[in-house]
Amino acid sequence: MAGIYSGSKMGFAPCTAQACVEILKHHGIATTGRRAVVVGRSLVIGKPVAMLLLADNMTVTLCHTKTENLPAVCKEADVLIVAAGKAGVLGAESVRPGQVVLDVGIHVGEDQKLCGDVRTTEIEAIVQAVTPVPGGVGAVTTSVLASHVVKAAERKI
């Protein structure tokens, strides 16, 4: 993980953090000069994805569920990455038209169905795009893991 902070390409970024960046690249979402807000400060997703976005020339604000006036901060983002660790923590009050929202959360809701950190049904008509849960960031994370395994094996050969 130290490689993320130092810019070294020796190791691998955490898979979920890299999956977020890969989703943006795959869909042609511009990053240079744009603003990202990351909600979540964990060592597994929040901090690493912030560093990867900085490396892609984004201006990054790192927040958490205790951030004052979190909805207003979230609305400033061009790209909003939500990894708060709390089901349905963000909804329409936290987004604006034109945003790209990546929901990293995965929880079992009260209805026993999988859900994310974002109340997707509230925001999908507002934002430019939002990743689904399930079938969004998690699916790409699995692909990134497979890629890391192959690259690690190639380095050993």
Least confident of 52-56, 80-84, 110-114: 110-114
Give me the mean pLDDT over the 64-79 stretch.
Answer: 96
* 157 confidence band (pLDDT: 50, 70, 90): confident
pLDDT of residue 22: 97
Q: Assess whether the previous peptide bond of 134 is cis (omega < 30° from 0).
A: yes
pLDDT of residue 49: 97
In the predicted structure, residue 7 carries a pLDDT above the cut 70:
no
* 3 confidence band (pLDDT: 50, 70, 90): low
pLDDT of residue 133: 94
What percentage of residues in the chain have a pLDDT greater than 90? 87
* 110 confidence band (pLDDT: 50, 70, 90): confident
CB 14 within 8 A of CB 143: no
* 29 confidence band (pLDDT: 50, 70, 90): very high
Give me the mean pLDDT over the 104-124 stretch.
Answer: 94
Radius of gyration of the chain (CA): 15
pLDDT of residue 156: 80
Q: Domain 2-147's class?
A: alpha beta
Q: In whole angstroms, what separates CA 108 from the centre of its chain? A: 19
User: Which tokens hold the place of 71?
Assistant: 């909805």
Max Cα-Cα span within the chain: 52
